[in-house]
Chain A
Amino acid sequence: MSDRSMKQRTYNILFHTHTVSGIVISVVLYVIFFAGSFAFFRDEFVNWERNSGVDVTDHITFSFDHLLDSVGQNYNLYGRDIELSKYYIEDRVSVNMTGTQSKTAASEDQLPKFFYYTPTDNSEATYAASYTLGEFLYRLHFLAQIKYPIGYYLAGLIAFFFLFAIITGFLVHWKKIVSNFYIFRPMAKAKTIWTDAHTALGMIGLPFQFVYAVTGAFFMIKAILIAPNVFLLFNGDQEKFYAELGYSHPHSKFIDERDAANYSIDEFVETTRDRWPGFNVTQVHLFNYQTTDMQLLVEGHLPYRSKFNGTGQALYQVNSGKLISERSPLEKASYLEAVKNILYRIHYGDYGGYALRIISFLLGIISCFVIISGVMIWLVARDKKHIPEKRRRFNEKVARVYMAIALSMLPVTALSFIAVKIFEPQGQSFIINFYGITWLLFTIFYILKKDLSFINRNTLLLGAVFGLLIPITNGIKTGNWPWVSYEKGLYHIFFTDVFWIILPILLLFAWKKTLKSGGPGGIPQKKVSKKTIPTKPIAEAVN
């Protein structure tokens, strides 16, 4: 086979597999990227919803002794392992305790327990009661609402196929990367507009999308990497595997011997921070509580701006105060710990302050646009005379359903912010049902409208209008208008309101552009192409 026709064949194969993989994953991938983009501001939205001020730090700022004392009044803590963790910047921490390991204890003490504890009022709350729209959007982006483990695995597989689509797309575009980098032809025919948008934004977002495809796949389907390792290299011993990878917390065995003395956990935490200045304590783990062999693990990290890979931990013997073992954050991180950390940092984008999160949000939304433009290319490219009418109508229906599901997320999300503010406090059921049902209704409405341009214009407009109503609703409900919240130092509330002023303004600009017919936002409804099937093969493009 000649070199040129090999290249032609390769190009065609990569192009076709890119199209198929892209179209198959498009809707779900859009959901993941849309929800994921908002998830960068999860904590801001959560604290806006709760109308609460928080210490903006990864460090657990309140007294552990006070917490243990307060919780100890409602539960018999003797003999339990207790884990106190701050995963998010909220006004509460998670309390995760095993049942007591003492065989002589009452039956209710043998039950494990999980709840959130708020130090300001010593209150306890379940996961469902603490649920927020911020949490919902965060979990939506890995499809957690779909019954476990289906949602998780679906999200992971979509991320993996996204990686496939990125590689094929990049190879298809390879020759034109430099030549077409600045090309955008808004006055050309529909397919060209969508193609230019797709390739330009795809190139700009490429490193970002690559990172999220790989880390996303890792987070959700790492089990399929782990399983063969455990089975073949660790003789099925899962514990040993996790220990080898530095995930276990080795500690003393339980001895059923009460130690009635009072120890200050806060002091251990302070000692740790003295040795590692600036250390953010994100987790405290007590083993064999109130026994003679009680141990304490203090875990956390240095601020990311001072040391990117600065995780560390210290294990103490509580009754003697002795340090049993530690992994100092001041030392150079091992390759293992560095990779473990980096996979999370580059996905969460939490190491560069607001600037990084805002850029990440914009790149996420750009990725959404890459997906939409891909669907549009698919549709418009098949809008040709030689393709049977029936097929063209089917294609149009598919595109309409995809666009309705995807684009309606914007007004639905904005409406949900309003809803949780008006009807607060609300738990898990309300939020999931409100978002889900509203999304369904909007989707059906847009499908029935049978007009792609309308879906585009209308979602932008409603997104903007509902969006602007968000800070207004908040102001009326809580009195924390942006100038008030700023004054009071309630920065998460302030950020959320300002976010929902700036974003709607940008959406209105985009909406205005779609009003001009033939502009990039307007989707021409008429059958565009008058040409017949091109007789020249795609070899042109290869050259």
Chain B
Amino acid sequence: MPANPKYLSSPLQRFAKISAGFLGGYLVTMSIHLALASWFDTANIVITSAYSGFILWAVLFVLAFLGKNGWKVWLLYLAITLLFGLICYFGIQNQSIV
């Protein structure tokens, strides 16, 4: 310390990683929990997310900084969000049929 400059990112990369971690991480966390909640017992999943949500979000936030390229992290997080978003969508459809 202070940080060895060779590991620091450019300002744009910093923005990418911070936003990916904070916003992207949030989107992934919510989409996973919503997907689970739409297929399983909603109340139990929701109350679990009270702790698992924040823990998962923080972990995803940390992981975002370990990527080489913040924009790739964004892509990855958005892809995961889409995947679980779809699962959630079908879960909701399934619920209204049941």
Contacts and interface: CB of A to CB of B under 8 A. Distances in A.
Query: A and B bound?
Result: yes
Contacts of B48: 339
A17 interface: yes
A12 B62 contact: no
Given A13-B65, A15-B1, A232 B88 contact: yes
Interface in A4-28: 9-10, 12-17, 19
A339 B48 CA distance: 7
Q: Which of A17, A222, A377, A378 has the most CB of B within 10 A?
A: A17
B30 interface: yes
Nearest to A226: B46
A19 B30 CA distance: 27
A382 interface: yes
Contacts of A101: none
A342 to B, nearest CB: 9
A163 B51 contact: no
B85 to A, nearest CB: 9
Contacts of A321: none
The B interface is mostly helix, strand or loop, or mixed, namely helix
Contact of B37 (A9, A213, A233): A233
Nearest to B59: A167
A183 interface: no
Contact of B34 (A163, A167, A228): A228
B32 to A, nearest CB: 11
A229 B37 contact: yes
Given A233-B37, A381-B1, A218 B51 contact: yes
A108 interface: no
Contacts of A215: 51
A336 B44 contact: yes
Contacts of A222: 50
B62 A17 contact: yes
A336 B43 contact: yes
Contact of B50 (A244, A343, A387): A343
Nearest to A234: B42
B42 A13 contact: no
A538 B4 contact: yes
B57 interface: yes
Given A163-B58, A233-B34, A233-B37, A19 B1 contact: yes
Q: Which of A13, A167, A340 has the most CB of B within 10 A?
A: A13
* Chain A interface size range: 35 or more
Contacts of A340: 47
Contacts of A277: none
Nearest to B54: A217
Nearest to A221: B54
B46 A229 contact: yes
Given A164-B61, A167-B62, A233-B42, A225 B49 contact: yes
A121 to B, nearest CB: 41
A168 interface: yes
B86 interface: no
Interface string B1-26: 11110011000000000000000001
A335 interface: yes
A163 B4 CA distance: 24
Nearest to A227: B30
Given A16-B8, A163-B58, A244-B42, A214 B51 contact: yes
A13 B66 contact: yes
B44 to A, nearest CB: 6
A214 B54 contact: yes
A41 interface: no
Nearest to A11: B7
B43 A245 contact: yes
Interface in B67-98: 88, 92
B4 A233 contact: no
Contact of A163 (B7, B46, B50, B55): B55
Contact of B2 (A167, A224, A246, A382): A382
Contact of B65 (A17, A19, A228, A377): A17
Contacts of B92: 232-233
A244 B8 CA distance: 47
A160 B57 contact: yes
Contacts of B50: 218, 222, 225, 339, 343
Interface string A220-264: 001011001100110000000000111000000000000000000
Nearest to A18: B62
Contacts of A10: 66
Contacts of B26: 224
Interface in A494-543: 537-538
A343 B49 CA distance: 12
Nearest to A241: B46
Nearest to B95: A233
A222 B49 CA distance: 10
Contacts of B37: 229, 233
10 contacts: A9-B7, A16-B7, A16-B8, A160-B57, A160-B58, A163-B54, A167-B58, A214-B54, A229-B37, A339-B48
The 5 closest A-B pairs by CB, nearest first: A16-B3, A12-B7, A381-B1, A163-B58, A339-B47
